[in-house]
Amino acid sequence: MDERILVVGGNAAGMTAASRAKRLDPSLSVTILESGPRIAYSICGLPFALGGRVRFEDLVLFTPETLKNERGIEARVNREAIQIQPSQKRVVAMNRANGEREIHPYDRLLLSTGYRPISPGIEGTDLEGVFTASRLEDGEAILSWIDAASARRAVILGGGYVGLELSEALVERGLEVTVVERSPSLLPSLDPDMARLVEEELERKGARVLTGRVVKRIAGTSSGRVEAVELATGSLRLPADLVFVDVGVAPRVELAEKAGIRLGSSGAVAVSERLETSANSIYAAGNCAECTHLVTGRPMMIPLGTVAAKQGRIAGENLAGRRSRFAGALGTSLVKVLGVTAAATGLSSVAAEREGFHPVAAAIEGRFQASYFGSGAPAKVKVIAERESGRLLGAQIVGSAEGALRIDVLAAAITAGMTVRDASQLDLAYAPPSGALWNPILVALNALAREL
Amino acid sequence: MDERILVVGGNAAGMTAASRAKRLDPSLSVTILESGPRIAYSICGLPFALGGRVRFEDLVLFTPETLKNERGIEARVNREAIQIQPSQKRVVAMNRANGEREIHPYDRLLLSTGYRPISPGIEGTDLEGVFTASRLEDGEAILSWIDAASARRAVILGGGYVGLELSEALVERGLEVTVVERSPSLLPSLDPDMARLVEEELERKGARVLTGRVVKRIAGTSSGRVEAVELATGSLRLPADLVFVDVGVAPRVELAEKAGIRLGSSGAVAVSERLETSANSIYAAGNCAECTHLVTGRPMMIPLGTVAAKQGRIAGENLAGRRSRFAGALGTSLVKVLGVTAAATGLSSVAAEREGFHPVAAAIEGRFQASYFGSGAPAKVKVIAERESGRLLGAQIVGSAEGALRIDVLAAAITAGMTVRDASQLDLAYAPPSGALWNPILVALNALAREL
């Protein structure tokens, strides 16, 4: 009989792993169990669908039918995996459509259950008009609510990527938007001096940004509909027809935990370089699994689609019998907020301090275009290195999208363990219409070299 | 008395070196001798000034006056350095304005004399209406000629960067342009399959491209004015009111050679990692000096402004008494030709073969934007690795400017000595408006991994 590969979770990591395994060994029987009604969608696209720039249906890359026809993979949607029985090599699932239990045997199992939004632990999160986003349906529900409730005022709790992309969508839809963030600045992967540029852009475009504020509760009408957000700091009351909560994510690990699979100190499933869990023939990949941070060398949770997809690819190779390794990631991220794009990779100065490094940083304003071509592609570039060794620890770029995308060069340099001096000699491309003779990245590195 | 730094050649390398040395040690007396009438201009900007998109005067960053006032550096223009007397530590120069000889003593000397265009060695290059470009004045002369001669038909001899940027400028000015290249394809740093995309763009926009053709002679009228280009292959006769010759460059090394300074096998001045020549207290930097190719490890001539500026910076540090080293370069280049941008770094497949490697390559068509955002930023990505080790040797990207600029990520990966497998796991930035979950660079690397 053909070997059976079972994948729990049908998005970035799970879909990629299933596809890769089947492609490498077409004789495998590959089945995906997905608890939601859809597989293979771009959750990262949700804010853009909400903003009306793309359609929700365009975010779905495969249906179970097209996946079966095009890739020979079975996908069972609305199947909630409720128990792994490692000794029998099977998974018990509940069919949400009819409540029935199903048994899914496997030879090798992949856990790719992703993450869930953390609850802020305050009163009122169950009111009508309060939303989180972990599935495409959440976006559709928000859109319906905006129409049904004729929502005019939105409060976003949490100034992370999703919250800010959603803010953009709601500002563009004409809503009054207030972003409330507990930390002193937005975007925790950026240092405050860089995140400030994003804050200013939101304010310039009419949104209100309140940082360093703790939310007391979400207040509702007697009929259970959201009415306002009340802050503990300053006792402000923010009227709201719509509240979106994005205060963090946690890995979905209940299934693994119940089966006695070891979790790491981050709370996500501990995995080897080959993405094996502590249980025989069981792998984990994506946002439910740990990932080695390439600067600290320590396992952590890096909840990004790019990392999930890469882990999925490696897991798929191992499910198919190869012996592939996943080195780790830097948490490189990019977010567009109205007219500003912010990118970060590696550690921020703040994170580097917290991790016990002695960071030194330099930031410069540059243009990614020859000066005589005008005002092309301005951006602020910040680079961070370890004082003792000069090794690059992290970088951030905020400004034009063209500028922010150059973060990838620094991601490569950090991955390679380059020092500031090494990286400052990188032979980067230049032509007057789309570059500067001294690329702002090199200017920033030269500025940092002076501090070391 | 203050130490005297003398710099021969006042552009990318020389200007950067002079500025860096003076900045590090303001007590230095720093003098630049420049044979032309101007210093500190962006020769890379010449085609764009010719195209009318920028003004020639905007390409000049400093005059001798502003350089003196802002940086405390003396610049003597129209001074042709004619002899170095190393034993007396002085340079003999000729003042072009009055023909007088001048003696310039130095404690440390930098040669940054750049390159000159190679002559194609055919009849007719001295006709009126035949041009090369090594100085800003050449661009102004071409522009005057177009007006004076009411030039309608231009023939470009040589399909390198400058020739193609000039073709763009002339096409945009409404001239009929024919590019004649001796090799089987344009842009010698690209493989023919990639260069072909540039060729197609030129043809789409109405230019004529003739590759694999040898020029017999440039024919003129009895009054000494250019009339046509005659090809040896196929005996074509191309009527021309304007001929631009860009068939290669050679380092300007006569001064060094006469002084007994050692040249390398490439013909450029041999230098150490600290950019010292074989003569005591004499350094060389920029396009007259050799540069270690970071893939082959061998010294060669890499005639690019970016490399010249970086070498200049390091030379300036050493002129000021530091001990800085220049690692080398990859020859990363970028050229925009009408609607297409082409970038290359490291070795092409053709160059890798010639250098004795066993290259394996893969090329894919990708979009540097999420598919549901439409047709964003298409480009073809080619990556090249060594068969035995999997080490990356080179890369090329041709298509949108946004795509081509990503070449820098591959330049960093190649500099770090990454294998295809290493680089395929790079944690690159992604957000739907300006990226793809699987960055085309990673897709290309994954495709190449399958070939290894």
3-state class (DSSP) for residue A116: strand
For residue A362, tell me if it sits in a domain: yes
CB contact under 8 A, B437 and A44: yes
Of A307, A341, A417, the CB nearest to B434: A341
Q: Please say if the pLDDT value at position A58 is more than 70.
A: yes
pLDDT of residue B371: 62
CB contact under 8 A, B428 and A333: no
Query: In this structure, what token pair is assigned to residue B445?
Result: 């690397």
Q: Taking CB atoms and an 8 Å cutoff, what residues of chain B touch A372?
A: 42, 45, 48, 54-55, 58-59
For residue A277, tell me if it sits in a domain: yes
Looking at the fold, whether A345 and A442 belong to one and the same domain comes out as yes
pLDDT of residue B374: 65
For residue A61, tell me if it sits in a domain: yes
Residue the block writes with tokens 């559709």: A140
For residue A324, tell me if it sits in a domain: no
Looking at the fold, whether B243 and B254 belong to one and the same domain comes out as no
pLDDT of residue A43: 87
pLDDT of residue B74: 97
pLDDT of residue B372: 65
Looking at the fold, whether A123 and A229 belong to one and the same domain comes out as yes
CB contact under 8 A, B431 and A331: no
Looking at the fold, whether A227 and A156 belong to one and the same domain comes out as yes
- Do residues B93 and B82 touch, judged by C-beta distance below 8 A? yes
Mutation site for A-interface testing, chosen from B15, B190, B408 by largest number of A Cβ within 10 Å: B408
- Do residues A331 and A31 touch, judged by C-beta distance below 8 A? no
CB contact under 8 A, B427 and A411: yes
What is the number of domains present in chain B? Answer: 3
Q: Which of B247, B268, B300 is the last residue of a domain?
A: B247
* Per-residue pLDDT reduced to its tens digit, B296-345: 999 999 999 999 999 999 999 999 999 999 999 999 999 999 999 999 99
Separation CA A81–CA A33 (nearest Å): 7
- Do residues A9 and A287 touch, judged by C-beta distance below 8 A? no
Q: Which stretch of DSSP H or E encloses residue B346? A: strand B340-346
Range of the domain at B85: 4-36+60-116+250-319
For residue A184, tell me if it sits in a domain: yes
Separation CA A346–CA A354 (nearest Å): 13
Q: Which is nearest to A210 in space by CA: A168, A182, A252?
A: A182
Strands A242-245 and A153-157 come out as: parallel
pTM beyond 0.90: the answer is yes
State the nearest Cα–Cα gap between A186 and chain B, in angstroms.
Answer: 18
Looking at the fold, whether A74 and A154 belong to one and the same domain comes out as no
Residue the block writes with tokens 């001295």: B126
CB contact under 8 A, B411 and A427: yes
Of A372, A408, A418, the CB nearest to B429: A408
Judged by a CB distance cut-off of 8 A, whether residue B327 touches chain A is yes
Q: Which is nearest to B138 in space by CA: B65, B40, B245, B220?
A: B245
Q: Please say if the pLDDT value at position A287 is more than 70.
A: yes
Q: Looking at B44, B149, B236, B452, which residue is catalytic?
A: B44
* Per-residue pLDDT reduced to its tens digit, B361-400: 999 999 887 666 666 778 999 999 999 999 999 999 999 9
* Per-residue pLDDT reduced to its tens digit, A1-33: 689 999 999 999 999 999 999 999 999 999 999
Separation in Å, CA B429 to CA A197, A206, A299, A339, A401: 19, 28, 20, 18, 11
Looking at the fold, whether B311 and B410 belong to one and the same domain comes out as no
Q: Which of A319, A354, A374 is the last residue of a domain?
A: A319
Residue the block writes with tokens 């092309």: A376
Torsion of CA A181, A184, A187, A189, to 10 degrees: -140
Looking at the fold, whether A219 and A364 belong to one and the same domain comes out as no
Mean pLDDT of B100-128: 96
Q: Taking CB atoms and an 8 Å cutoff, what residues of chain A touch B40?
A: none
Looking at the fold, whether A173 and A211 belong to one and the same domain comes out as yes
Q: Taking CB atoms and an 8 Å cutoff, what residues of chain B touch A306?
A: 427-430, 437
Q: Please say if the pLDDT value at position B152 is more than 70.
A: yes
Euclidean distance between the first and final Cα of chain A, in Å?
63
Can B288 be counted among the known catalytic residues?
no
Separation CA A266–CA A247 (nearest Å): 17
pLDDT of residue A375: 63
Separation CA A364–CA A315 (nearest Å): 40
3-state class (DSSP) for residue A302: coil
Looking at the fold, whether B218 and B304 belong to one and the same domain comes out as no
Judged by a CB distance cut-off of 8 A, whether residue A343 touches chain B is yes
Domain containing residue A418: CATH number: 3.30.390.30
Q: Taking CB atoms and an 8 Å cutoff, what residues of chain B touch A432?
A: 42, 44-45, 48, 54
For residue A375, tell me if it sits in a domain: yes
For residue B44, tell me if it sits in a domain: no
Separation CA B324–CA A421 (nearest Å): 10
Q: Which is nearest to A427 in space by CA: B186, B415, B180?
A: B415
Mean pLDDT of A84-105: 97
Q: Taking CB atoms and an 8 Å cutoff, what residues of chain B touch A427?
A: 294, 306-307, 310, 329-332, 345, 411, 415
A44 — pLDDT class (breaks 50, 70, 90): confident
Mean pLDDT of B45-66: 91
Q: Which residues pair with B5 in a beta bridge?
A: B30, B108
* Per-residue pLDDT reduced to its tens digit, A347-402: 999 999 999 999 999 999 998 876 666 667 789 999 999 999 999 999 999 999 98
CB contact under 8 A, B430 and A54: no
Looking at the fold, whether A99 and A126 belong to one and the same domain comes out as no
Q: Which residue of B has its CA nearest to A439?
A: B306
Looking at the fold, whether B394 and B366 belong to one and the same domain comes out as yes
Q: Taking CB atoms and an 8 Å cutoff, what residues of chain B touch A437?
A: 12, 42, 44, 305-306, 309
> Mean pLDDT score of chain B, rounded to an integer?
95
State the DSSP string of B189-208. Answer: TS-HHHHHHHHHHHHHTT-E
Q: Which of A247, A263, A294 is the last residue of a domain?
A: A247
For residue A177, tell me if it sits in a domain: yes
Judged by a CB distance cut-off of 8 A, whether residue A239 touches chain B is no
Looking at the fold, whether A363 and A394 belong to one and the same domain comes out as yes
Domain containing residue B295: CATH number: 3.50.50.60
